[in-house]
Amino acid sequence: MKPYTLSTLVIVCLVLANVAHAETNKDNKNGTIADDAHGIVWLKNATCLGWNSWWSAKNDVARLQSGMCGLSDKSTAGQWRLPTPKELASRAVNTSGFTNIKLGIYWTSLSMGEQFAYVVHFPSGYLRDYQKGNGNGYIWPVRDK
């Protein structure tokens, strides 16, 4: 295991400080759940896009659109993305209204060079780095409101 850097510890502290409050989730009745605290919309089905490498996860999320994964929100390909560590860690605090949340790791958008990206473990909310190409994680997309 590689040692954590100061920037990693700062990110962990920021994430933990911001997940202390539990925000309210609003079911939009179109396959999405609104997250007003972060100004984003989550895919209601937490594992519709499955389990894959970070590279594949980014491609899968970029193709997501209305008509897929129970979506009827009129979203188009290119609007969805992987969540930030802060956004994803907030889900470990409050998963009400979501479906198919799995025990395990979920990819975030935060990359550490060519080999690593951050993941959040569910249900603990623990943030760590993980290999992009050799490791798999769940894919839980978000889009801006």
Model confidence over 85-96: pLDDT tens digits?
999 999 998 899
pLDDT band at 131 (very low <50, low <70, confident <90, very high): very high
Q: Are 97 and 72 in contact (CB under 8 A)?
A: no
Domains of the chain with CATH codes: 6-144 (3.10.100.10)
The proportion of the chain whose per-residue pLDDT surpasses 90, expressed as a percent, equals: 77
**Burial (CB count <10 Å: 0-12, 13-18, 19+), residue 3:** exposed
CA distance linking residue 32 with residue 98, whole number of Å = 9
- Residue-level pLDDT at 8: 53
**Burial (CB count <10 Å: 0-12, 13-18, 19+), residue 63:** exposed
- Would you say the pTM of this structure is higher than 0.95? no
Q: Are 132 and 120 in contact (CB under 8 A)?
A: no
